[in-house]
Amino acid sequence: MTDPKAATDPELVEQQGVGEPDALQRLWTPHRMAYIKGENKPDHDQADGCPFCRVVELDDADALIIARGELVYALLNLYPYNPGHLMVVPYRHVADYTELTVQETLELAEFTQRAMRVGRTVAAPHGFNIGMNQGVIAGAGIAAHLHQHLVPRWGGDANFMPVIGHTKVLPQLLAETRQLLADAWKS
């Protein structure tokens, strides 16, 4: 039997079942189901359904946008690998890196450098993974709109949870991380 309070407070979920309990704690991440099901992924060349095209119409806090430039913007990844995992995205709906203009390429590089500096100020990571997956076969979740990932890394940040448990444990809410990075970006 499930605790009735669980419907309003996911931290109180306790499932009773048959058999001996295994004494393991479980971290439920129902918000990940949208990603697993492929929701909000745009069609190949359709900008109107693209989450990266739509998100810029929202308030920065709601969109998890850290900073806006003339040609690109930086926002937190909704499904982060680590705290502070952000992406630099051109406003223009392009799929391939070679389609960027020289100006877009320069601003994307400048935003990436700035994001590294801000990340170091806010969270003192030991390193970064920086890159973009070009095409579905290369691992791009949203291949239709180019985006560059910047993932802060710390010694020991990789563990069994994502591999065995298909769960990522993050110590800070996205809204809190966004606010810290946005404030540091402005200073």
**Residue scoring higher pLDDT (104 or 46):** 104
Largest CA distance in the chain: 63
Lookup result for tokens 């430039």: 69
Q: Is 85 designated active site? A: no
145 is in an annotated binding site: no
pLDDT digits over 20-79, tens only?
666 655 656 666 676 666 665 555 566 677 999 999 999 999 999 999 999 999 999 988
What are 136-166's pLDDT values in tens digits?
Answer: 888 888 899 999 999 999 887 776 556 555 6
Domains of the chain are 4-186 (3.30.428.10)
What is the side-by-side strand order in the sheet with 65-68?
A: 65-68, 72-76, 86-90, 148-153, 127-131
Choose, from 31, 44, 147, 166, the residue flagged as catalytic: 147
Residue 77 annotated as lining a ligand binding site: yes
The residue with tokens 């390193």 is: 127
Q: pLDDT category, 1, cuts 50, 70, 90?
A: very low
